[in-house]
Amino acid sequence: MKIIKDKNGNVINIGDWDSKDGKNPLPEGATEHDADVVKGYDEGLYLADDPKRLGA
């Protein structure tokens, strides 16, 4: 699944970026990546290797 990381490598979005017809551009330095994403204990989306997905 596509994810967006900020210029420091932090995940800022999971899925496609909603640009809201150009009114919400990607932050400067943000990049798109493909990653394994899973549903966590709380039904939220997490990177597959994120221990928070288990409620840790």
In whole angstroms, what is the distance from residue 46 CA to residue 52 CA? 8
Tens digit of pLDDT for each residue in 3-38?
Answer: 999 999 999 999 999 999 999 999 999 999 999 999
| Residues 4 and 17 sit within 8 Å (Cβ to Cβ) | yes
| Sequence spans of domains, the chain | 2-54
| Residues 26 and 13 sit within 8 Å (Cβ to Cβ) | no
Q: Give the model's pLDDT for residue 19.
A: 94
pTM, to two decimals = 0.84
DSSP per residue, 27-55: PTT-EEEE--EEE-TTS-EEETT-GGGGT
